Amino acid sequence: MSDEFKGGCQCGDVTYTVSEAPLWVGHCQCTNCQKFSGAPHATNMVVHRAFLDVKGSMSIYEYGADSGNQMKRHFCGKCGSPIYGESSGNEALVVIRVGSLDEPGGVTPSTVIYTDSAVHWDDMDSDLITFSGMIKR
């Protein structure tokens, strides 16, 4: 797995570089991820904010999570492509939307979270570790 990833939005107004290997890569089947991705799950990777360099102007959508944390979704204001999210629960980390990577095949998911919200036909690799909700630490 590479230690540098490049990505951006569909129209090219927003680009970014991540200069570290992801701390976690996985699928999320929560209803929020279903809504923002327009699909039965979102594939995400977690990195330290300090290693994310974004160029371009983004819009932000804020909402309260089940955890009580404030969530922010950053997306291109022109084409609407989701780029990353963040939580007030740990401001040192960001959650990159793997679909925004130039080469999404460069990462491999290890986990599926929020399986209790899964759409019944969204089959996942049975070798992945699963959690019914958020991973608890």
Describe the strand order of the beta sheet including 52-55 as a list of residue ranges.
Answer: 5-8, 15-18, 52-55
Closest CA to 82 of 127, 119, 35, 115: 35
Residue 120: the pLDDT is 96
pLDDT tens across 78-133, in order?
Answer: 999 999 999 999 999 999 999 999 999 999 999 999 999 999 999 999 999 999 98
pLDDT tens across 33-69, in order?
Answer: 999 899 999 999 999 999 999 999 999 999 998 788 8
Q: Which residue has the tokens 């939307």?
A: 97
CATH architecture of 5-130: Alpha-Beta Complex (3.90)
DSSP category for residue 51: G
Give the residue-averaged pLDDT of 16-44.
95
